[in-house]
Amino acid sequence: MAPKDPARTLKALGYGTPPALAPLTYPGRPITTPALLLGDELHDLTIQDALTDVLKDRTPVLAVGSNASPAQIAHKLTRLSLPVRVPMIPVRTRGIGIGCSAHIGRNGYVAAAPYPDPGAALTLVVTWLDEVQLKAVDATELPNYRRVAVPDAPVPGLQLYVSEYGVLTDPATGGAPRPGGGDQAALLTALLRRSPALLALLGPTPDDWVRRAAASPAAREEGTRLLRETGYQTAHWPR
Residue ranges covered by each domain of the chain: 6-167, 182-232
Long-range contacts of the stretch 190-197 (C-beta < 8 A, 24+): 191/110, 191/227, 194/230, 194/231, 195/226, 195/227, 195/230, 197/226, 197/229, 197/230
pLDDT tens per residue across span 92-125: 999 999 999 999 999 999 999 999 999 999 999 9
pLDDT tens per residue across span 113-161: 999 999 999 999 999 999 999 999 999 999 999 999 998 899 999 999 9
Q: In this structure, are residues 66 and 26 in contact, taking their beta carbons and an 8 Å threshold? A: yes
pLDDT grade for 1, boundaries at 50, 70 and 90: very low
Q: What pLDDT sits at residue 19?
A: 96
pLDDT tens per residue across span 37-87: 999 999 998 766 655 667 878 999 999 999 999 999 999 999 999 999 999
Pairing of strands 59-63, 85-100: unpaired
The conformation of residue 6, written as its DSSP 8-state character, comes to G
pTM over 0.85: yes
**Looking at the chain, how many residues does it have?**
239
Q: What pLDDT sits at residue 236?
A: 74
Question: How far is residue 62 from each of residues 4, 97, 102, measured CA to CA in Å?
Answer: 28, 12, 20
Fold of 6-167: Hypothetical upf0131 protein ytfp (3.10.490)
The stretches of 40-174 forming alpha helices (DSSP H) are 47-49, 70-78, 131-141
Strand partners of residue 98? 114
